[in-house]
A and B are shown apart, each in its own frame.
Chain A
Amino acid sequence: MAELFFFIAGIGAIAGAVGVVTLRNPFYCVLALVSHLLSLAALFLLLRAEFVAAAQVIVYAGAVMVLYVFVVAYIGGGEQPALRPPVGRGQRMIAGLCTLGLFAELMVATLGSGLKAIDSEGAPYRPGFGSPAQIGELLLTKFLLPFELASFLLLIAAVGAVVLARRRGGVGEAGDERRMSALEFARGPAPLGVGSMAEAAGDIPGGVDAESSGSVSSTIGERGGW
């Protein structure tokens, strides 16, 4: 039974990976990557790593790929010409050599260790292995430093993303920020230019006047129109 699932998941993972690089439509590429990640999760499950499998699905298939899908569905049209960047002969040579080197290295690793393991039974399963409790303990004792470093790196990336978005005007000016603060939100005024009832009735100062409606249409224009 386990072998059957292993082959289903393994074939799914390989097919997904091949699909990512060979498919032309970027949306299908993302879907292939999703199926690849789900197959990997199934493989983790076969290894009794329930937590890793769930994390794989939640983080990668759930959060990261959702963002990919989001972006590709918005901007990745199917009618774009296939990406063929001008590649020089030298670059192709180097790429080919690198591929060969990697292939040889993988073959050495596989033939050297993997084939021997086929005939053996594999490591015995200890109850509790791979449980969330054990993983958490390891993360906070043995791997504390790498764990904290990784989370710090993620924090830096998140802050960097906000800074970059702000510089390009994606988040909006400070005034817009103030208007959208949590307290004000609870009280309920709308940001300008969303077509609220109060705005139409002129209850909000500057709601329908020329300045604000001008700015609204200009932002829509920047986005490329609806």
Chain B
Amino acid sequence: MLSTVPTVLADVRYFEPWWIQILKGIVIFAVGLQLVPIVLLAERKLLGRFQQRYGPNRVGPFGAIQPLADILKLLTKEQFRPRTSIGWLFALAPIVSIITAVAAFAIIPFGNTVDIFGTRVGLYGVDVSIGPLYLFAFGAVAFYGIMLGGWASGSKYSFLGAMRAAAQLISYEVSQGLALIGVVMTAGTLSLTGIVEAQQGMWYIVPQAVGFIVFLVASFAETNRAPFDLVEADAELVGGYNTEYGGGRFASYFFAEYLNVLVVSGVVTTVFLGGWLLPFGIDPPTWVDPFVVLAKMSIFVLFFIWVRATLPRLRYDQLMSLGWKILLPLATLNALVTAILVVVTH
């Protein structure tokens, strides 16, 4: 039975043997899991500096194991739920969030196919033929994680947060998708490794600058990060959709949010910054590739933190205006102009 599956899946570019795929899954998940506390610490440290304080500095050297202490604290807490909540949905929602975040992490390519133990291994979870659509599909399911959590909590703050999430997701997913169309048309492929390969001469951040900006802004909204964090606006909604969550379930939501930040950084890196490619024709050995991707990703993670420390939160009507009246026309125009240019230059 297992021998037939790889041959079937070979058509869709799963050419590795099954044991490599399992190994790869574990390694990628482990890397994602390790990156989250690092992002967490970087965010708290940097936010501290931005606000002229030190940030965490008590646990471990320079506060370096503060995230671990936080996670341990959360995981050992009691699992409580409000009396008005709906039990099974309340428990299911964070799981949906975390599953979709991890699944989306699988498509980020950390390098091209390499030879390990005599077999060809792609340095990515999957290289699907539908590329970015895979990301959007899991983004769509991720919405249910937030929505169900907010609704099943049986509290008005959670509910309002979930409702905002619904409106925000619909508004910005469209711009995000349209912004990528320009890249897909220029590269002529949907495969993310193909898109990276197509950036050999020039990274797409130059010809697709508009698409890059629209995608980046929309990504802030999709990941519910400041200045679009109305979903969990703590000044008005206590904690938004996760108000009633505590302990391990809250940790799951938290983990999913930061993993989503990493996923978005990875996608921007892949699609607009040339993935594992280095500028000026520098061609390092293959083992450097994942570190190049991680370095580029960290630039965007730092940018996310910087923006959070700098910009105030948008009001709800401003969020909608920005999404529908500025980003969407810009993205459409970008796609149109790119289409014309592609046709003319071919």
Residue of A nearest to B132 (CB): A54
For the complex formed, measure the closest distance between the CB of A4 and the CB atoms of chain B, giving whole angstroms: 9
Q: A180-B317, A185-B322, A186-B326 are in contact. Are A48 and B140 (CB under 8 A)?
A: no
Q: Which residues of chain A (61-92) have a CB below 8 Å from chain B?
A: 61-63, 66-67, 69-70, 73-74
Contact A185 B321 (CB under 8 A): yes
The verdict on A48 contacting B11 (CB below 8 Å), with A69-B147, A190-B315 known, is yes
Closest Cβ of chain B: how far from A181's Cβ, in Å? 7
- B23, CB-defined interface residue at 8 Å: no
8 Å CB contact of B140 from A50, A57, A127, A185? A57
Asked whether B8 lies within 8 Å of A2 as measured between CB atoms, the reply is yes
Tier of interface size on chain B: 35 or more
B residues within 8 A CB of A26? none
A62 touches B147 (CB 8 A): no
Binary contact track B146-186/A, C-beta < 8 Å → 1, others 0: 01100100000001001100110110010000000000000
Q: Which residue of A lies closest to B184 (CB)?
A: A132
Q: How far is the CA of A185 from the CA of B173 in the complex (A)?
A: 21
Least CB distance, A62 to chain B, in whole angstroms:
3
Who on chain B is nearest to A129 by CB?
A: B11
Chain A residues, CB < 8 A from B170: 63, 66-67
Q: Cβ of A153: which chain B residues have Cβ within 8 Å of it?
A: none
- Count A-B pairs with CB separation below 8 Å: 92
C-alpha spacing A207/B137, complex, angstroms:
44
Partner of B130, one of A61, A132, A194, A196: A132
The CA-CA distance from A54 to B162 in the complex, in Å, is 24
Contacts of B21 in A (CB 8 A): none
Task: Please report the total number of A residues contacting B with Cβ < 8 Å.
Answer: 37
| Chain A residue, CB-CB nearest to B2 | A1
Kindly state whether residue A55 has any CB partner on chain B within 8 Å.
Answer: yes
| Alpha-carbon distance A53/B144, docked complex (angstroms) | 18
**In the bound complex, how far is the Cα of B4 from the Cα of A85, in angstroms?**
54
Q: Does A217 contact B (CB under 8 A)?
A: no
- State A196–B317 Cα separation when bound (angstroms): 12
Q: Once bound together, how far apart are the Cα atoms of A34 and B4, in whole Å?
A: 31
Q: Which of A1-40 contact B (CB under 8 A)?
A: 1-2, 27, 31, 34, 38
Contact A34 B144 (CB under 8 A): yes
Q: Which residue of A lies closest to B148 (CB)?
A: A31
Residues of B at the A interface (CB closer than 8 Å) are 1-2, 4-5, 8, 11-12, 128-130, 133-134, 136-137, 139-141, 143-144, 147-148, 151, 159, 162-163, 166-167, 169-170, 173, 190, 315, 317-318, 321-322, 325-326, 329
The 6 A-B pairs at the shortest CB distance, nearest first, are namely: A62-B140, A57-B137, A54-B133, A182-B325, A185-B321, A54-B137
Q: Which residues of A contact B (CB under 8 A)?
A: 1-2, 27, 31, 34, 38, 41, 48, 50-51, 53-55, 57-58, 61-63, 66-67, 69-70, 73-74, 125, 127, 131-132, 180-182, 185-186, 190-191, 194, 196
